[in-house]
Structure 1
Amino acid sequence: MNSILKLSEELLHNVKLNLPYENEVHQLSKLKYKNIIVKLATDNHKKAFWINIYNSFYQILAKQYKEDEIIDKNIYKTKSIIIASKRFSLDSIEHGILRKRKFVIGFGYLYNPFYPKFIEKLSVRVLDYRIHFALNCGAISCPPILVYDYDKIENQLELATHSFIESETILIENDKKIKTSRLFLWYLGDFGNFKKVKQIIGKVFHKNLSKFKISFQKYNWTKQLHNFK
C-alpha cells in the first residue's frame, strides 16, 4: 500500500477513535516533498490523501479554538498544518489543491493566481465537484466524515454525493421547486451551472428537474465536531 496514503488514513482513524495521533502528525511534517509528488501521482491519490488530511486537521485544530457554538472562520485561514516541511491552511488544501487553485469566493468561477508554486504542483488536474460532499468543515450542514481509501474512492465519493444530496434536498413536486444545500450556490462554477446542478440532483432522485425552480437553504454554521460515518 502507498505509505503516504496509509499515513493519512491512520491519522484520520486515530482522530475518529480519540487515539493518540501525534506520531502521524510528526511523520507528515517530515515527509519529503518530492516523495509526495511521486506517491500522489493521480487525481484519485490526491483526493484520497488530501480529503483525509483536511478532515483530520479540522478536528485537531478545532480543539485549539475556543469552544463557541458558532465556528471561528479563522480556523480555515491559519497555516498551522505542516506537511513535508511546508505550511498549509485548511483553505489552501480545499481551494488550492482540491479545487485546483480557485478563490474561496467567486461562486467557483474565479481562479486564484497567487497560490505558491508548491500548491500548484500538488493540485488536482481536474476538479471533482464531489469533494464538496466529502470535506467536513465542522458545521451541522457539513457532510459526515469518512476515511477515504484510494482503492475505493470512486465508489465512496459517489455514495457520499448521493447521501448528502438526498439528506439536504427537498423536492416540492406540485410547485416544481427544489430546495437544496447552499454549497451548490457558493461553488456553482465547480458544478457547471444551474442546469448541471439540477441534473446532478435529478440523478439522485431519478427525476427530470429541468423545469423546476431551484433555491438554496440557509447553511447552519453551528459547530458539530466528530461527525463520523
Structure 2
Amino acid sequence: MKKFLLILLFFSSTYIFSQEKINYESVSQQFLQNIIDKKPVDKQVYILEKSRLKELVNQLKTDHQKIAFWVNIYNAFIQISLTQNPKLYDNRGAFFSNKRIKIAGETLSFDDIEHGIIRKSRMKISLGYLRKWFRPKWERKLRINGDIDWRIHFALNCGAKSCPPVAIYSSKNLNKEFDFMTTEYLKEQTTYNKVTKAAKSVALFSWFRGDFNGKSGACKILKKYKITPKEAKKIEFKNYNWTLLLGNFREIPN
C-alpha cells in the first residue's frame, strides 16, 4: 500500500510539473494551426480540458496575452464544433450561449469567451454600452483589465460568410496583426460615396457601437485605416450574411 501511494505521488508530481511547463499561448496557436493543416487536435483539446484557472491566470498576465490566447481558442472551437455538426448553426442563439468548451476547470460558451473575457463582462445585447450585473469568479480573473480593444471584432470568426477570416495571433505582435486584419477586412466590407461622403460598412459597427465610440467613432476608424479618403459624414451598415462558411483562413505576413 505504501509503495502504491509513493508511485501515485510520483506521477501526480510529474503531472503537475509538466502542466506548469505548458505554454498556453503556444497551445492555442498550435491548436489553430493543426486545424488549418487538417491535422489532429486531440492533444491540444486534452491540455485545455486539464488546464486550471490558477495556471491560466498566472500565465496570461497582460491583455495582449489574454486576447491572443482567447481569440485563437474561440476561432479554433468554432471551426471544430461546426465541422463536426453544421446543424448546430440552425439555432445560432443556442450555439453561442450553450456551454461546450472545457477549459480552466470550467465549461464555457462562445458568449462567455467573447463577451465575458475579451469584452470585459459586457452584456451581449446592449450595443456594447452595458456591463453584466453578475460576473463569476473565473470571468473576473480571466477577463482583460483595460479598455476593450475594438479590433477584436475583426479577428473573431463566428463561422458566417460575413465574418472576418481566421488568423493565428500572438501577444508579441498583436498590434501589428490586428491592424493588418482590420485593414484587410474593412477594405472588403466598406464602400464610400465621394459625392454624398457616406460610407457603408459591416454590421459589426452597429451591433457593438459602444465598443467603437458610436457611429462617429466608426467613421474615424475608417479614416484612420485609410478605408475612406475622408471622414464620412454618414455611415450605413450592410446586412450580415449568416451563411455558414468554414475554412476561411488568412495568413498574416511577417
TM-score (normalised: structure 1): 0.94
Q: Deviations for 1:171-205, whole angstroms, at most 9, x for unmatched residues?
A: 01112211000100000000112211110001122
Say whether the 8 Å CA contact 2:101–2:109 is kept in structure 1.
Answer: yes
Distance 2:67 2:181 in 1: 14
Q: Aligned residue for 2:230?
A: 208
Q: Matched residues in 2 for 1:42 and 1:21: separation?
A: 26
Inter-partner Cα distance in structure 1 for 2:188 and 2:91: 22
Query: Rg: which structure is higher?
Result: 2
CA distance in 2, matches of 1:69, 1:50: 21
Higher RCO (C-alpha 8 Å, min separation 6): 1
- SS of aligned partner of 1:214: strand
Q: RMSD of the TM alignment (CA)?
A: 1.7
In the TM superposition, what is the alpha-carbon distance from 1:71 to its structure 2 partner? 6.7
Match of 1:140 in 2: 161
Q: Is 2:17 aligned against 1:17?
A: no
TM-score by length of 2: 0.85
Aligned residue-pair number: 228
Deviates more, 1:76-85 or 1:47-56: 76-85
Is 1:39 matched with 2:59?
yes
Q: Percentage identity across aligned positions?
A: 36
Q: For 2:187, which of 147, 163, 166 is the aligned residue?
A: 166
1:91 paired residue number = 111
Residue 202 of structure 2 corresponds to: 181
Alignment of 1:188-207 (within 5 A): 188-205=209-226, 207=229
Deviation per residue, 1:139-191 (Å, 9 max, x gap): 01100000111221110001111111111000011122110001000000001
Name 1:115's counterpart in structure 2: 135
In structure 2, C-alpha distance between the alignment counterparts of 1:68 and 1:179, rounded to whole Å:
31
1:48 to 68, 71, 79: 68
Partner amino acid for 1:28? L
Structure 2 segments unaligned to the other structure (5+ residues): 1-20
Q: Which runs of 5+ in 1 are unaligned?
A: none
Q: CA deviation at 1:68?
A: 8.0
Task: Go from structure 1 to structure 2 and tell me whether the alpha carbon gap of 1:160 and 1:71 turns closer, same or farther (over 3 Å shift).
Answer: farther
